[in-house]
Amino acid sequence: MLRLVSSAFLALATLAAAQQEPRPATPPPIRTVLRALPLGGDEDLNSRPHPEESAIPAAPALTAPATPQAVPMQSTAIPSPLDVKPTGDDALRLQIYLDEAKFGPGIIDAKPGRFTELAVQSWNEVHGHPTEDWVAANTAARKAVPNPLAVAVVPDIVKDWVDGTLPTKVSLQAKRKRMSYRSVAEFMSERYHCDVPYLVELNGSSKINNLKARDTIIVPNVTPFNIEVLTGAGYKADESMSQRHAVVDTKLNQVRIFEAAPAALVIAEPGATSISHASRPNHGLIASFPITPGENKFIKFGTWEVRNSVELPHWRYDQQLLDTGKRSADSESLEIPPGPNSPVGVFWCGLSKPGIGLHGTPNPETIGRARSHGCIRMANWDAVRLPTLIRPGTTVEIR
């Protein structure tokens, strides 16, 4: 149904395209060396903090380059019932609403699954509604997100972040300057918190498989993840955020972030099969996101502390460590450059347990399924929000 282009859509697309008159611009250079910690990631279970860690500057205030804004499309879909898991446009607007509220529903695709259910439960907990209630969240979503789809323009910056020749062989990746996206479709799907199959569903395979700069496509009407604003900055401790408490639940595949004071009162007990019911609003819970924990034999259960927080990290690849569990000499390892297709994604949040951290991933569709060696993986668009929620000094409990 969405492949049928209405006159309203054509008008919006024409408007969006018209805003993109050619103009001289100097694209930001690809950084050959980014100021990020040489972190070990999933495969480096014995890494240590970089000796110059204390010299990492505070993160600068980031201002996104001028990029075309998505134009919302008016929804004419028939509403679904409020008291059940929604479908169609209502499912999409609920996922968008939860995502914007920092209760990650996973990939936005109008097909709410387990992660959307958990996000609703967390949202209900914060607002004091029964855990399994759908009415309150659906009602709030309809009010906040009247138009769940939008027409987006592929920005010119895409040429600096897409490399269709990016190799899959690690030894060749180590010779590149950046672990870029492999296609414009991958760039746009991550930008709008979805996956390529959903963009194909909305736009058709011919359109998505041949995307180029300044093309217009239909996307979820969510705040985009603008990768071009990342600089490789490190984040220092913060008086408020460093006092927070994060719980990584390896059974539910969730990381839940709490203000410091009420954390001990609200975290789930080990072995719990669902988030506990809320009898009153729990304003101590401020965010939750889907994660994939490490394999059971590699999970480092316990209470740790955030030690470093950095954008666009380098990653140390160590084949001996993969094969034997023992770290090899640095001369026998490879340094994989930063980028969205890095095994640790675009953000690293290292813990006091050496080699373990919360980080992004090049494969958001595998969150909750495929397991890593020891770290906690998140979608890049979720991981990049961590420094707005937690900082060095934050307590992280892995259970």
pLDDT tens sequence across 248-273? 999 999 999 999 854 444 445 444 55
* Residue 80 reports pLDDT greater than 70: yes
Alpha carbons 374 and 73: distance in angstroms, whole number: 42
- Max distance between CA atoms of the chain, in angstroms, equals 63
Which pLDDT does position 1 carry in this prediction?
42
Stretch (H or E) spanning 8: helix 7-18
Which pLDDT does position 329 carry in this prediction?
76
**Residue 246, helix vs strand vs coil:** strand
Alpha carbons 214 and 26: distance in angstroms, whole number: 17
Which pLDDT does position 232 carry in this prediction?
96
Q: Is 32 exposed, middle or buried (0-12, 13-18, 19+ CB in 10 A)?
A: exposed
Confidence of residue 330 (pLDDT cuts 50, 70, 90): confident
Alpha carbons 82 and 126: distance in angstroms, whole number: 19
Strand segments (E) across 110-253: 149-153, 216-220, 245-249
DSSP secondary structure string for all residues of 205-245: HHHHHT--TT-EEEEE-S----GGG----B----TTGGG-E
Alpha carbons 236 and 55: distance in angstroms, whole number: 10
Average pLDDT over residues 122-148: 97
Confidence of residue 5 (pLDDT cuts 50, 70, 90): very low
Stretch (H or E) spanning 297: none
Average pLDDT over residues 169-189: 96
Which pLDDT does position 169 carry in this prediction?
94
Structure tokens at 252: 């539910």
Rg (CA), the chain: 21
DSSP secondary structure string for all residues of 354-381: TT-EEE--S-GGGTTTS-BSSSEE--HH
Average pLDDT over residues 215-240: 97
